[in-house]
Amino acid sequence: MTVVNNGRLHFVVLDTSGEPKILSSLSLKKFLTEDVDSELIPEKLRHGADTIDNILLIAPDYWFGNLSLRFQSRKKSVVEPFIERKVQAQYPDLPDIKYFINYTFYQTHQGEPGIYVYFMHDPTSFHLYNKLAELNLSPRRITTPAFLWQEKLEKIVPGFDKGGKALVHLLSSDCFLYFFFQGNFLFSRSISLPDSPEESSDRFNTLSYEINQSSYLFSQEVKSEIDQIYLLSSGEDDVQELSEILGREVKDLKDTIDGSPIGSTIAERLGPAGYFGPSDLSPASKFPSISHKLERKELEWKPIQMAGIVVGLILLLLLIGERFVLWKWSHSVQSYLTEKGVVTRTEPREALHRYNQALDLLLKETRRPSIRKTIVNVFRSLPDDVWIKEMAIELETNPRVDIQGVIKASGPDQFRSSLSVFLENLNKYFQGARSLRIRDIDFETTSSNEKGYQNYVIALRFNLP
């Protein structure tokens, strides 16, 4: 996994015992500005990335934003465009934000349906994702310490999804405040504290001030108060001291949650992410996270593809079993009839030969390209400014695809750029076929009703692998 903390980027791997180890740490700024082949980037990442699966990126909380929206429909085809419009309207200068949005459904305390939307909105986050993609290290999931705590607290705090809750995670020289409402993360605060034992009172005075300020902000945002504050600290008297200075009960989580499963040195370098171990970060864990929009669509199609493979294997086994049964049956019939002198040995063999031909025909059909998969891959390849007018798919003697479409562009440069992206995507999703190049495309220009834009009609053909 990859962890961003205090302006540094840490590449973390799990050894055979499941313990995280830092493979490399480097300045985030240098990583984003250096070339992919720079010596700054570890050799294993530059040339061995194809064998590495980056399952998770843990980013700072402030890289994420969230919204709570009232919406009646639960249909994905209606909800997702609505959410994208809302988020894009709030951040019009971040066109990439639409690729990094996720949401969950919930009910307000009045029983009204709502949508909790969370998204990446820091420009550095988009830059980092693209740089990791250049190294073939695109993270499957992106999350924050706050979202990891949300999943953890939901399991151990009764009524976590009711009202407001606050977590104070006190480390040696830093403190992290997390605020949740109705089970969803609202906002967090990071505080630097004096680490001298003689300044303990100053630490708690600073902490009390920050908690009170954040509580006021919390009540302003959700029109409700914090029901309970929880503290996670290694100090024996920290809960009592914080309760006295705040004038309210603070519950201790130290006995409910074990200490950091990661060594103290690694935990300090990873910051708030260093508290979580392999069980918390497992791909099976259901903590809130974001995947790139295209990556998420691929993951959504995987169960369907796996189901198709399983059904195909079952059918193949049935056909093989049927062939074996027919062979046994024909062999016994041949022996019986031969003994009776009714038929010659060649007739059952001819029947079995016909069955073999039928089986070969069925197997040939199963190897034909899938028309559904072909259509899906073509539409996954389309950039935003490319539309298809006609598409013909031939699956018989020479499997191929014929496409006629339109590209709306402000000029030749934009047209060429959009066409290059389209062809690059086609070559990616139809590996094994002859690579398409721009000179393989026929095109002509037509008039457009929009000022400054020109419609380019394109036509192309490619063979299916």
- Provide the pLDDT for residue 396: 74
Task: Kindly tell me if the per-residue pLDDT of 339 is higher than 70.
Answer: no
- Provide the pLDDT for residue 276: 85
Task: Kindly tell me if the per-residue pLDDT of 265 is higher than 80.
Answer: no
**Residue 46 — pLDDT band, cuts 50, 70, 90?**
low
Residue appearing with tokens 């909380």: 61
> Which helix or strand (DSSP H or E) is residue 246 part of?
helix 238-246
At a CB cut-off of 8 Å and minimum separation 6, what does 147 contact?
64, 118, 185, 287, 288, 289
Chain centroid, CA 260 distance in Å: 26
Residue appearing with tokens 């392999």: 278
Mean pLDDT of 370-394: 84
- Provide the pLDDT for residue 199: 61
116 CB neighbour count, 10 Å cutoff: 20
In tens, the pLDDT along 101-122 reads 999 998 877 778 889 999 999 9
- Cα 412-415-421 angle, rounded to 5 deg: 140
Q: How far is Cα 443 from Cα 416, in angstroms, rounded to an integer?
A: 11
Q: By three-state DSSP, how is residue 175 classified?
A: strand
Extract long-range pairs of 6-14: CB within 8 Å, 24+ residues apart: 6/271, 8/269, 9/128, 10/269, 10/270, 11/42, 11/45, 12/270, 14/278
Exposure string of 265-300, with b = 16+ CB inside 10 Å and e = fewer, is ebbbbbbbbbbbbeeebeeebebbbbbbeeebeeee
pTM over 0.85: no
Name the least confident of 43-57, 61-75, 158-172: 43-57
- Provide the pLDDT for residue 262: 47
Task: Kindly tell me if the per-residue pLDDT of 139 is higher than 50.
Answer: yes
Mean pLDDT of 359-382: 75
Q: By three-state DSSP, how is residue 287 classified?
A: coil
In tens, the pLDDT along 393-452 reads 887 778 888 888 888 888 888 888 888 888 888 888 887 667 778 777 888 887 665 667
To 10 degrees, the CA torsion angle through 36, 37, 41, 43? 130
- Provide the pLDDT for residue 432: 66
Task: Kindly tell me if the per-residue pLDDT of 360 is higher than 50.
Answer: yes
Residue appearing with tokens 């310490």: 145
Distances (CA, A) of 41 to 4, 128, 131: 15, 14, 11
Contact 84, 101 (CB under 8 A): yes
Quick one: what percent of the chain has pLDDT higher than 70? 82
- Provide the pLDDT for residue 48: 58
Which of 229-233, 309-313, 351-355, 448-452 tops mean pLDDT?
Answer: 229-233
Q: By three-state DSSP, how is residue 202 classified?
A: helix
Tokens of 341: 């002198």
Residues pairing with 138 in the sheet: none
The mean pLDDT of the chain is 83
Which is it for strands 2-5 and 454-463: parallel, antiparallel or unpaired? unpaired
- Closest to 185 measured CA to CA, from 289, 318, 302, 33: 289
Give 179's DSSP letter: E
- Provide the pLDDT for residue 195: 62
Mean pLDDT of 35-44: 70
Tokens of 146: 């706050």
Contact 229, 238 (CB under 8 A): no
- Closest to 229 measured CA to CA, from 183, 164, 159: 164
Mean pLDDT of 360-367: 65
Give 273's DSSP letter: G
Of 465 and 66, the structure prediction assigns the larger pLDDT to 66
- Provide the pLDDT for residue 263: 46
Q: How far is Cα 446 from Cα 455, in angstroms, rounded to an integer?
A: 5
Contact 142, 100 (CB under 8 A): yes
Amino acid, res. 142:
I
Distances (CA, A) of 254 to 155, 218, 232, 358, 381: 15, 25, 6, 69, 51
- Provide the pLDDT for residue 77: 85
Of 104 and 280, the structure prediction assigns the larger pLDDT to 104
- Closest to 100 measured CA to CA, from 327, 347, 294, 241: 294
Contact 426, 462 (CB under 8 A): yes
Q: What is the DSSP string of 363-381?
A: HHHHTSPPHHHHHHHHHHT
